[in-house]
Amino acid sequence: MSFDPRTLKVDFRCRANSMHGRLAWDDETYEVWKHWDEVEYDTLALIASLIAEGDSRWSEVYGTRADDWRSVTAALRAFEEANPQPMDLGLNVRCGLCDRRMALHERESRADVPSVYACGHRHTDGRFRREEKADIHRVVDRVLLDALNGRISWVMAPELAPAPAALVAYADYLTAKIATYDAHIGAAKADAALSRQRTDLVARLEQVGMIQEHGVFTVAGLDALVREPWRDRPTRDDGVFTDLGRALLVDRVVCHRDGIEVFTHLDEGTALYRRLYADDLRKEIRVAHIQLKMLEDELTELEETPAGPPDSPSS
């Protein structure tokens, strides 16, 4: 075991049992230290005094950081309890076993570890449930294209856009949450998971600002998709839709043990589907009326013109 008292970084490897200190998650294992923030500081308090071997620096670093960690996480929890989040611009992915919302864990800094959605709950079969982000997005894109069935303009139905008042409330919520974080973070800003939380809040606030300035369909890349549906987009590897685009169009994704189920706002039978389809039918009926009128005019003209000799008789 190695321990750096200044960074509080612990590297734990048990020679007798490689699973000690590790958490099995489906087919892979993770170090508990790095994936279980709630227990990290408490566990550290139990063992660090032994492994620091009399080095007093650890208690100084640990003392302030652990106190501030507890203070800021308690303040954020109290904020969340007092202020329900007014809206959500993320994909609604739910666990098919416990129905909990699955949180996205981005692993962009490490190419070898995929980003996953996880409910963070150990189920009655003793296992956790996680699904790779790329797999979910692939299924979502396929289901969306099936639901659209060539009617790509449906992705810009005004009903899909968040209400301006909700966006204002969401921006206020994010600003207040960032302020709560900043007021309590102190020495805990060295905590990687907490600083990731702040980065995420700031990114979400910036996204709301972009939506207010440019419109949600532009920011979600949906108007570009409608204008040039067949154009190769630079983000092709990420799929047909953007993260925000998926979140707007999808009602919920349910991850079962044996498959991913997607429900979109454009599914047959939804109120939006009926409204859009009725509009399309009305448009087609209008066009058919115009074509019918043209054919009738042509026929009338033909009938009213007296027959004459051919213009250029064939020889």
Residues forming contacts to Zn ion in the complex (CB under 5 A) are 95, 97-98, 119, 121, 129
The nearest distance, CB 26 to Zn ion, in angstroms, is 12
Considering only CA atoms, give the Rg of the chain. Answer: 29
DSSP, res 240: S
Q: 274 by DSSP, 3-state: which? A: helix
Whether 31 contacts 37, CB under 8 Å: no
CB of 97 to Zn ion, least distance (A): 5
DSSP letter for 10, please. E
Select 95 or 248, whichever has its Cβ closest to Zn ion: 95
If you search the block for the tokens 């200190």, which residue do you land on?
Answer: 21
Any idea what DSSP says for residue 312? S
Q: Which amino acid is at 91?
A: L
Cα angle value 124/128/134 (rounded, 5°) = 140
CB of 76 to Zn ion, least distance (A): 23
Question: Nearer Cβ to Zn ion, position 6 or 252?
Answer: 252
* Of 196 and 256, CB closest to Zn ion: 256
Max distance between CA atoms of the chain, in angstroms, equals 117
Beta carbon of residue 144, minimum distance to Zn ion (angstroms, whole number): 24
Q: Which is nearer to Zn ion, 44 or 97 (CB)?
A: 97
Question: Please, what is the minimum distance in Å from the beta carbon of residue 91 to Zn ion?
Answer: 16
Q: What is the DSSP string of 49-103?
A: HHHTTT-THHHHHHHHHHHHHHHHHHHHHHHHHHS--S---S--EEETTT-PBPE
Residue 123 neighbours by CB under 8 Å, 6+ apart = 97, 98, 129
Based on CB atoms, which residue is closest to Zn ion, 11 or 26?
A: 26
Our CB check for Zn ion shows the closer of 8 and 119 to be: 119
Position 211, amino acid: I
Residue whose Cβ sits closest to Zn ion = 95
Gap between the Cα atoms of 298 and 187, Å rounded? 83
CB of 189 to Zn ion, least distance (A): 31
Cβ 196 to Zn ion, closest distance in Å? 22
Beta bridge partners of 103: 118
- Distance (Å, whole) CA 83 – CA 75: 12
Q: Cβ of residue 127: shortest distance to Zn ion, in angstroms?
A: 9
205 or 255: CB nearest Zn ion: 255
Those residues with Cβ within 8 angstroms of residue 152's Cβ, 6 or more apart along the chain or in another chain: 225, 226, 229
